[in-house]
Amino acid sequence: MRIVYVTQSYPPERVGGVEVYVKGLARELSRGHEVFVFSRGLKSGLGHGEVYESDDGPVRVTRVHVDLGRVNEFRDKYMRPWLTGLFREYLKRIGPDVVHVQHLGGMSLDMVRAAAELGAPVVMTLSDHQPYCPRGQRIRNDKRVCKKIVPDECLECLKPQTVGIHGRPGKLAAYLMGKAKGKEMLERMREDIAEQFGSVSCFIMPSESHRRIMVEEGVPGERSRVLAYGLDLSELDKVPRRPAGEPVRKFGYLGTLIPSKGVEDVIRAFKKLKTPGCSLHMHGEAVPYHGITDYDKRLVELARSTEISFYGAYQPADLPRVLATVDAIIMPSRWYESYGITIREAFRARRPVIVSDVGAFSEAVEHEVNGLTFRPGDVFELAAAMDRLAGDPALADKFAAAGGPIEGLAEHAAKLIEVYEGARSSMQSEKK
């Protein structure tokens, strides 16, 4: 089978949960299938629309540089006809049996229909809240989470009517153009989503909580299913086990450094710890986040004069080494996470976890059974949980031993092939 994966970025240019998953999946499936990746390129120094290719082992990766600043109107943020045209020609050359859209961040929503029009069944994984929330995470600049996507509130967050108006204050532009114009743009976006999603054979969500939320927003429930991410267990099994009874002193955060992940919360909580001898180890890259380009500097300043260390981005091959350097993992996200890959990595490495009680994290971790949970954003509660784990080695051992279910890549890949074959069969039946 010829499989094309579409993703917002691909390692080593960016290493996040989706990117690591797609890389592992592509390598696994390439054992018996032809696998191709079409991705947005992040290499510096390239011009808008420039294409470059490379091989990741047997996987051919095609990247396109997209200048996200080239936006004249709100619709340009999610529809890029030039990119869709390029993708259409790419598919004609590859001739895929199935196209699996993993993430369209910074790309073009109508790539979905383009693939279907060429006769390739489209499978789509929804790993965050795009495209219904163009910001992807249903969280505002003040870190309040949107329990429902409400157009009036989207106007305040996205200011769609001001996109492309250069040199004017946002509030003035919004006043001049009016909320009605912005609502029209958001309604058009919803219509575009419904039209494109009509071409998708199967939607995949990595957790039941995320599937429920996305169906509420408009994803056809009858074409959706839950399929947890698969992980490369062989790499995780290389992590040495912590000695029984050893106290937790080295806390770790693994993931992208952005405000919605609660990174500031874990730093502030660490500064409130009462247990002596603790340290916090921050592994991950600070990436541009809705206009914030200096977040790494802000975090370093916040962590000044503490036992907090920042190590920057790490590659998938570095994961066993990184996990081996910490005693426990903290995942303090504020937004409705769709899965929690790092939680499963910690489970496999026998590292106890402390996570915010939100989204799919709540499915993965049951408080005091296989980890500790705290209310998102509550730094006092998080600090108390860290002190509790640091002061009770037996509790840490209990959580490490409990862990949780984890699916290996081979098993996961086999399930996906069944999905792909079902999508191909359905499309062929419709043509008859």
The hierarchical CATH code for the domain 2-227 is: 3.40.50.2000
Question: Same CATH fold, 233-406 and 2-227?
Answer: yes
Q: What is the pLDDT of residue 25?
A: 97
Which one is predicted more confidently, 174 or 31?
A: 31
Q: In the structure, what pLDDT confidence band is assigned to residue 316 with cuts at 50, 70 and 90?
A: confident
Q: How confident is the model at residue 176 (pLDDT cuts 50, 70, 90)?
A: very low
Q: What is the pTM of this model?
A: 0.90
Query: Which parts of 262-332 fold into alpha helices (H)?
Result: 263-270, 295-302, 319-324
Query: Comparing 15 with 123, which gets the higher pLDDT?
Result: 123
Token pair for 246: 């050893």
Of 6, 199, 232, the closest CA to residue 107 belongs to: 6
Amino acid at 37: V
Question: Tokens in use for 76?
Answer: 């340009």
Q: How many angstroms separate the CA atoms of 252 and 214, rounded?
A: 31
Q: Which two tokens stand for residue 53?
A: 């290719």
Sequence spans of domains, the chain: 2-227, 233-406
Closest CA to 354 of 384, 324, 310: 384
Q: Looking at per-residue confidence, does 126 or 177 come out higher?
A: 126
Mean pLDDT of 292-297: 89
Q: How far is 23 from 43, CA to CA, in rounded Å?
A: 18
> Can you spell out the DSSP letters for 70-101?
--SSGGGGT--HHHHHHHHHHHHHH--SEEEE
Task: Kindly give, in sequence order, each residue whose CB lies less than 8 Å from that of residue 310, ignoring residues fewer than 6 positions away.
Answer: 282, 296, 299, 300, 303
Q: What is the pLDDT of residue 158?
A: 78
pLDDT higher than 50, residue 3 = yes
pLDDT, greater one: 397 or 154? 397
pLDDT number for residue 161: 62
Alpha-carbon radius of gyration of the chain: 22
pLDDT digits (tens, 9 = 90+) for 341-397: 999 999 999 999 999 999 999 999 999 999 999 999 999 999 999 999 999 999 999
pLDDT value of position 166: 54
Q: What is the share, in percent, of the chain residues with pLDDT greater than 90? A: 78
Amino acid, single-letter form, for residue 388: R
| Mean pLDDT of the region 217-229 | 96
**Residue owning tokens 């927003």:** 217
Locus of tokens 């998938």: 316
Q: Average per-residue pLDDT in the chain?
A: 92
How much of the chain, in percent, has pLDDT values that exceed 70?
Answer: 95
Q: Tens digit of pLDDT for each residue in 63-105?
A: 999 998 888 888 999 999 999 999 999 999 999 999 999 999 9
The domain covering 233-406 belongs, at the CATH homologous superfamily level, to Glycogen Phosphorylase B; (3.40.50.2000)
